[in-house]
Chains A and B, each alone.
Chain A
Amino acid sequence: MSNLTYTVIFYLFAAITVFSAGFVVFSRNVIYSAFSLLFTFFGAAALYVFLSADFIAVTQVVVYVGGILVLILFGVMFTNSIMQSKPKSDIINIVPGILLLAAIIGALLFTFYTSHSWMPSETTLQGSIVQRIGFETMSRYVLPFEMASILLLAALIGAAYLARFEKPGNNEH
Chain B
Amino acid sequence: MEQLTTIGLNHYLTVSAFLLGFGLFAVMTRKNAIVILMGVELILNAANINFLAFSKFNGGMQGVMFALFVIVLAAAEAAIALAIVINVFKTFKTVDVSNIDSMKE
A148 and B67 alpha carbons, distance in the complex (Å): 13
A69 and B53 alpha carbons, distance in the complex (Å): 24
How many inter-chain contacts with C-beta < 8 Å in the A-B complex? 246
Q: Report the minimum CB–CB distance from A92 to chain B (whole Å).
A: 6
Q: Does B7 contact A (CB under 8 A)?
A: yes
Is A120 in contact with B72, judged by CB distance below 8 angstroms?
A: no
Q: Does A156 contact B (CB under 8 A)?
A: yes
Quick one: which of B5, B10, B15, B23 contacts A118, CB cutoff 8 A?
B10
Q: Which residues of A contact B65 (CB under 8 A)?
A: 133, 136-137, 140-141, 144
Quick one: which of A64, A117, A118 contacts B74, CB cutoff 8 A?
A64
Quick one: which of A18, A44, A112 contacts B48, CB cutoff 8 A?
A44
Known contacts A44-B49, A59-B71, A121-B58; is A159 also within 8 Å of B31 by CB?
no
- Majority SS at the chain B contact face: helix
Q: Does A96 contact B (CB under 8 A)?
A: yes
Is B56 in contact with A124, judged by CB distance below 8 angstroms?
A: yes
A96 and B24 alpha carbons, distance in the complex (Å): 11
Known contacts A53-B55, A68-B78, A118-B8; is A152 also within 8 Å of B17 by CB?
no
Is B59 in contact with A124, judged by CB distance below 8 angstroms?
A: yes
Quick one: which of B14, B52, B55, B96 contacts A109, CB cutoff 8 A?
B14
Known contacts A79-B34, A92-B29, A152-B72; is A72 also within 8 Å of B18 by CB?
no
13 A-B pairs within 8 Å (CB atoms) are namely A3-B6, A30-B32, A34-B34, A51-B12, A55-B64, A68-B74, A71-B79, A71-B82, A72-B34, A92-B30, A96-B28, A124-B56, A140-B65
* 18 extra A-B contacts, CB within 8 A, seeds A79-B85, A79-B86, A92-B98: A6-B7, A7-B6, A21-B23, A24-B38, A63-B74, A63-B75, A67-B78, A68-B41, A79-B33, A90-B31, A91-B30, A92-B30, A97-B28, A105-B20, A121-B58, A129-B61, A151-B76, A156-B76
A residues lining the B interface (CB < 8 Å): 3-4, 6-7, 10, 14, 17-18, 21-22, 24-25, 30, 33-34, 37, 40-41, 44, 47-48, 50-53, 55-56, 59-60, 63-64, 67-68, 71-72, 74-76, 78-79, 89-94, 96-98, 100-101, 104-105, 108-109, 112-113, 117-118, 120-125, 129, 132-133, 136-137, 140-141, 144, 148, 151-152, 155-156, 158-160, 162-163
B residues lining the A interface (CB < 8 Å): 5-15, 17-26, 28-35, 37-39, 41-42, 45, 48-49, 52-53, 55-59, 61, 64-65, 67-69, 71-80, 82-87, 89, 95-96, 98
